[in-house]
Amino acid sequence: MIKKLMLIALVITTANSCVSKKVYTDLEDKYANLKKESRALADENSTLEQAKNQLQNQLSKLQREYDETLAQRNQLQSDYDATLSNLNNLKNSYDALEKNSASAIAENVKKNRELLAQLEAKEQALSAENERLNKLKSELENRSQRVAELENLIASKDASMRQLKDAISKALTNFEGKGLTVEQRDGKVYISMENKLLFQSGSWAVGSQGREAVQQLGSVLAENPEIAILIEGHTDDVPYTGSGQLSGNWDLSTKRATAIVNILRENAAINPENLTAAGRGEYAPIATNTTAEGRAKNRRIEVILTPKLDEISKLLNEI
């Protein structure tokens, strides 16, 4: 993403001297929006990862404290039982000596009182440890529940994206083998459409077959309003040699991405705020540019679908 922003900044600088002020301003705005989105996504991913690691560390620490407190409680219980046994033995001795010696009785009374004091102290310590143990247990259960909720929410997001991928694959079945692929990775769904499905060489006008594919994709996206939609245009590294409205490959890739956005905007159920168009030029290839087949794969439109993380952020704030 950083590389993408740097390249967009470069093309804005270049465009300043090559294109009209309106195109330059549009590119600047798109650059600013992409930069803002990049920072937001990076911050959200970093916050999520840090929060998960922090919760895991806290959970491990609480587990250790719980185990240590339980061991201390058990030791106090053992000491208490041993002290109680000694007290009973002394009582028995007291009964036996009571008939024989007043001095022995006095000594036993003294020891008895000492043991009673020790027993009371151990009872108080045992009660305090039990209270601390219960508090740690409650906190441990609460943290465990929060971690489980977070993991379930992340799993739910992944499941939703898998369902979205399956729905898109089903909607675009007729275009299989025509330069279209759908895959899920890193929590996102990627739809790649080679230019042979969408555009003529050097053009950003979408053909009838490509328009049909984009419209069918739009029908699925309209049913998923909580998805951010990034449309990226890509070219090969062959320099653009045409003339007219285009200044180069980067300009061409941007216009092609915008053309796809405009088709999606025809669907009134798609929120325009969820749409972003970006031109990547030849700077993000997926294949070699030394062969005709590789260059054909690089000339493509990529639609990147990202789930919104508002629910996860809210849960993290509650924790």
pLDDT of residue 243: 67
Q: In the listed set 159, 183, 210, which residue is the last one of a domain according to the structure?
A: 159
What is the arithmetic mean of pLDDT over 221-243?
91
Q: Which of 315, 271, 309, 314 is nearest to 37 (CA)?
A: 309
- Amino acid (1-letter code) at residue 63: Q
Tell me how crowded residue 192 is: count the other CB atoms within 10 A of its CB.
Answer: 18
| Distances from the Cα of 271 to the Cα of 167, 307, 309, angstroms | 19, 14, 17
Q: What is the number of structural domains in the chain? A: 2
High-pLDDT (> 90) share of the chain, %: 37
CATH of the domain at 97: 1.10.287
Q: Assess contact for 173 and 166: CB atoms under 8 A.
A: no
Residue 11 has pLDDT above 60, yes or no: no
Residue 52 maps to a domain: no
282 found inside a domain: yes
Contact 38, 101 (CB under 8 A): no
Clarify whether residues 253 and 234 are in a common domain.
yes
Q: How far apart are CA 106 and CA 154, in angstroms?
A: 71
Question: Whole-model pTM?
Answer: 0.55
3-state secondary structure of 152: helix
Statement to judge: residues 172 and 238 lie in one domain: yes
Answer yes or no: do 42 and 173 share one domain: yes
- Domain identity same for 269 and 190: yes
The reply to whether 119 and 152 lie within a common domain is: yes
Mark whether 149 and 227 lie in a shared domain. Answer: no
Span 18-41, pLDDT tens digits: 557 888 888 888 888 888 877 887
Does residue 110 register a pLDDT over 70? Answer: yes
Q: Are residues 17 and 74 in the same domain?
A: no
Domain boundary among 110, 134, 159: 159
Same domain, 152 and 217: no
Structural domain boundaries enclosing 175: 2-47+160-318
- DSSP-assigned letter for residue 223: T
User: Partners of 277 in the beta sheet?
Assistant: 231
**Residues 246-267: tens digit of each pLDDT:** 889 999 999 999 999 999 999 9
